[in-house]
């Protein structure tokens, strides 16, 4: 039997830090819910309050997570680059983005369909659990980095 | 009676040749022996410090921030935060201060031979590492990849900005910068310095890390290095405690069984990892 050729998107997914250690079968399954997208610099990727139905695996570029301030406008909190994951609100109710996100540079991402992914994770824990752990790690890392920013460790006073 | 200049508690007179403000509160002093050639500090190793004495005010331990290849001109970079450093900040070219030193254990350079090097620092922590960076550049062929990860509070607080730009332009080392907070005008990385570690180009199995910054930064840096697979015994840190005598006599800088001035300030991480909860005396 002729071996099925790996799709480019599957290869790209396999090259992303997020999928490290995932089985071939699970990566192939993720690939079936994935698409590719590029953004120019200064493009909005997410807007707080809008429906969260996707997740981005950054391949190249720089995306800033921002919070909107009525007088200061978009205040950047953190930037994410190659190998990072943007967006987990598709995974938790009420499935609305809690922050804005803007590109700082030309950016290339793999987009995962959040609704299909959530349904697949719920229906098949063998597929869903390792992914849930990964998304939990992303959240934990983000919280830890935010705490360090909050303590203002370089302030001499 | 003539007193030998190496008398360890006797400050040697040095004259301020130049003052350079690096940021709003951080400055570099260029100092030369007051008597002209000779009679001053003749050599130092990267990571060592001097005790700088402002007559009538007091002494402060400050690391050398210049090149060990040029010990005749001593550079000290510090932040104006305490009574002594504020007095130092008010000095002008031509004025005299006293210097004792050099003191302390230096960054181990030979141990890095043949290995990748990762330097992780933040804020004023870059100053004690700059002599090491100069040394590594001078002996570049001895080492593998060199990566410098630098974090600052804001873009305005990036130390040695012009020099960092020069290092970034070199093809034989990687320099990544991030800041903790910034407006949209800043188009670089935003986030704590530890976020740079996972994707930095060093092989943890054959690397050495030099870390200097606030202790909380160093703690989380070690955690990120361990996660990357870096063994603790190949991580070196520069500790800061309230140093007074510089010789391990007075005990002010005691950190458990160690005296930071004499046994440090550079330690192998395994030597001090369990001591970080010990507060300053």
Tell me which residues of chain B have a C-beta less than 8 Å from any C-beta of chain A.
25, 79, 81, 122-124, 151-153, 157, 178, 180-184, 186-192, 194-195, 198-199, 213-214, 216-217, 220
Binning pLDDT at 50, 70 and 90, where does residue B280 land?
low
Question: Least CB-CB distance to A154: which of B122, B182, B220?
Answer: B122
* pLDDT, tens digit, 9 for 90 and up, residues B115-171: 999 999 999 999 999 999 999 999 999 999 999 999 999 999 999 999 999 999 999
Backbone conformation region of residue B123, classed left if phi is above 0, alpha if psi is from -120 to 50, else beta: left
- Asked whether residue A35 carries a pLDDT value surpassing 80, the answer given is yes
Contacts of A154 in chain B (CB under 8 A): 122-123, 151-153, 157, 180, 213-214, 217
**Angle A46-A117-A68 (CA atoms, 0-180°, nearest 5)?**
15
Least confident of A10-24, B82-96, B256-270: B256-270
Question: Least CB-CB distance to B180: which of A149, A156, A157?
Answer: A149
* The pLDDT of residue B11: 87
Report how far Cα A116 is from the mean position of its chain's Cα atoms.
Answer: 15
Crossing angle for the helix pair A125-150 and B215-228, to the nearest 10 degrees: 160
Query: Which residue of chain B has the CA closest to A148?
Result: B192
Binning pLDDT at 50, 70 and 90, where does residue A6 land?
low
A19 within a domain of the structure (yes/no) = yes
| Beta pairing partners, B75 | B30
Contacts of B192 in chain A (CB under 8 A): 145, 148-149, 153
Provide the token pair at B196: 């740079």
* The pLDDT of residue B281: 52
Nearest partner of B106 among B55, B199, B150, B43, judged by Cα: B43
Contacts of A79 in chain B (CB under 8 A): 178, 188-191
Average pLDDT, chain B: 90
Provide the sign of the torsion angle of the four alpha carbons B200, B205, B206, B212, taken in this order. positive
Start-to-end CA distance of chain B, whole Å, equals 38
* The pLDDT of residue B141: 96
A14 within a domain of the structure (yes/no) = yes
* The pLDDT of residue B40: 75
Find the domain containing A21 and state its range. 8-150
Inter-chain CB proximity A148 and B183 less than 8 Å: no
What domains sit in chain B, N to C, each tagged with a CATH number? 12-103 (2.40.30.10), 110-238 (3.40.50.80)
Give the Å distances, CA to CA, from A136 to A61, A128, B221. Answer: 23, 12, 21
- Asked whether residue A127 carries a pLDDT value surpassing 90, the answer given is yes
* The pLDDT of residue B36: 55
Inter-chain CB proximity B189 and A79 less than 8 Å: yes
State how far the Cα of A50 lies from the Cα of A30, in Å rounded to an integer. Answer: 24
Q: Are strands B207-212 and B235-238 parallel, antiparallel or unpaired?
A: parallel
* The pLDDT of residue B38: 54
Three-class secondary structure of residue B158 per DSSP: coil
Task: Please tell me the number of Cα atoms within 13 Å of B182 on its side-chain side.
Answer: 25
- Asked whether residue A73 carries a pLDDT value surpassing 90, the answer given is no
Question: Tokens 């510090």 — which residue?
Answer: B78
* The pLDDT of residue B4: 44
Least confident of A124-133, A141-150, B33-42: B33-42
Q: What percent of chain B has pLDDT over 70?
A: 94
Inter-chain CB proximity A74 and B184 less than 8 Å: yes
State how far the Cα of B58 lies from the Cα of B52, in Å rounded to an integer. Answer: 8
State how far the Cα of B158 lies from the Cα of A42, in Å rounded to an integer. Answer: 24
CATH number of the domain to which A30 belongs:
2.60.120.10
% helix / strand / coil in chain A, to the nearest 5? 35, 30, 35
A155 within a domain of the structure (yes/no) = no
Binning pLDDT at 50, 70 and 90, where does residue B261 land?
confident
Query: Which residue of chain B has the CA closest to A157?
Result: B81
Q: Assess A21–B contact: CB distance below 8 Å, yes or no.
A: no
Three-class secondary structure of residue B36 per DSSP: coil
Instruction: List alpha helices for chain A, DSSP H.
Output: 8-14, 24-31, 114-123, 125-150
* The pLDDT of residue B166: 95
Average pLDDT, chain A: 92
Query: Which residue of chain B has the CA closest to A151?
Result: B216
A3 within a domain of the structure (yes/no) = no
Q: Are strands B26-33 and A54-60 parallel, antiparallel or unpaired?
A: unpaired
* The pLDDT of residue B2: 47
Least confident of A150-154, B265-269, B277-281: B277-281
| Beta-strand runs (E) in B138-257 | 146-152, 174-179, 189-190, 207-212, 235-238, 254-255
Provide the token pair at B5: 């200049």
Question: Least CB-CB distance to A145: which of B124, B195, B213?
Answer: B195
Distance from CA of B33 to the nearest CA of A (A): 31
* The pLDDT of residue A1: 42
Pick B8 or B69 by higher pLDDT. B69
* pLDDT, tens digit, 9 for 90 and up, residues A76-106: 999 999 999 999 999 999 999 999 999 999 9
Q: Are strands B189-190 and B174-179 parallel, antiparallel or unpaired?
A: parallel
B161's enclosing H/E stretch is: helix B161-169
Contacts of A60 in chain B (CB under 8 A): none
Q: Phi and psi for B101 in degrees, rounded to 5?
A: 145, -165
Q: Assess A74–B contact: CB distance below 8 Å, yes or no.
A: yes
Q: Rounded mean pLDDT of B21-48?
A: 86
Query: Which residue of chain B has the CA closest to A72?
Result: B183
Pick A56 or B219 by higher pLDDT. A56
State how far the Cα of A4 lies from the Cα of A31, in Å rounded to an integer. Answer: 14
Distance from CA of B180 to the nearest CA of A (A): 6
* The pLDDT of residue B3: 44
A1 within a domain of the structure (yes/no) = no
Inter-chain CB proximity B81 and A156 less than 8 Å: yes
**Number of structural domains chain A divides into:** 1
Q: What is the ipTM of this complex?
A: 0.86
């Amino acid at each position: 039997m002729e071996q099925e050729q790996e799709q480019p998107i599957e290869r790209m997914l396999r090259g992303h830090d997020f999928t490290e250690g995932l089985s071939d079968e699970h990566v192939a399954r993720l690939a079936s819910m994935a698409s590719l997208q590029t953004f120019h610099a200064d493009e909005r990727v997410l807007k707080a309050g809008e429906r969260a139905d996707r997740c981005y695996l950054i391949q190249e570029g720089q995306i800033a997570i921002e919070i909107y301030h009525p007088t200061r406008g978009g205040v950047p909190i953190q930037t994410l680059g190659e190998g990072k994951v943007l967006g987990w609100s598709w995974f938790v109710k009420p499935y609305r983005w809690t922050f804005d996100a803007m590109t700082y540079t030309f950016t290339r991402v793999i987009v995962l369909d959040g609704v299909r992914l959530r349904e697949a994770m719920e229906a098949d824990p063998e597929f869903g659990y390792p992914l849930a752990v990964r998304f939990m790690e992303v959240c934990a890392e983000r919280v830890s980095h935010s705490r360090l920013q909050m303590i203002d460790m370089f302030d001499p006073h | 009676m003539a007193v030998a200049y190496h008398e360890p508690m006797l400050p040697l007179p040095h004259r301020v040749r130049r003052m350079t403000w690096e940021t709003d509160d951080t400055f570099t002093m260029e100092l030369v022996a007051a008597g002209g050639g000779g009679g001053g500090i003749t050599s130092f190793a990267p990571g060592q410090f001097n005790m700088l004495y402002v007559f009538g005010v007091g002494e402060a331990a400050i690391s050398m921030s210049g090149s060990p290849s040029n010990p005749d001109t001593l550079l000290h970079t510090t932040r104006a935060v305490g009574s002594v450093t504020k007095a130092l900040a008010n000095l002008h070219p031509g004025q005299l201060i006293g210097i004792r030193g050099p003191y302390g254990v230096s960054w181990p350079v030979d141990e890095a031979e043949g290995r990748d090097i990762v330097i992780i620092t933040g804020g004023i922590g870059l100053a004690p590492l700059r002599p090491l960076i100069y040394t590594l550049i001078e002996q570049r062929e001895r080492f593998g990849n060199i990566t410098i990860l630098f974090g600052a509070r804001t873009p305005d607080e990036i130390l040695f900005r012009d020099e960092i730009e020069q290092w970034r332009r070199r093809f034989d080392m990687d320099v990544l910068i991030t800041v903790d907070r910034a407006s949209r005008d800043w188009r670089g990385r935003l986030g704590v310095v530890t976020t740079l570690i996972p994707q930095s180009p060093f092989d943890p199995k054959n690397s050495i890390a030099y870390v200097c910054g606030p202790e909380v930064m160093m703690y989380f840096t070690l955690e990120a290095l361990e996660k990357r697979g870096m063994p603790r015994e190949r991580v070196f840190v520069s500790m800061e405690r309230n140093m007074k005598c510089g010789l391990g006599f007075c005990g002010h800088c005691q950190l458990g069984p160690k005296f930071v001035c004499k046994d440090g300030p550079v330690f192998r991480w395994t030597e001090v990892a369990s001591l970080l909860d010990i507060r300053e005396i």
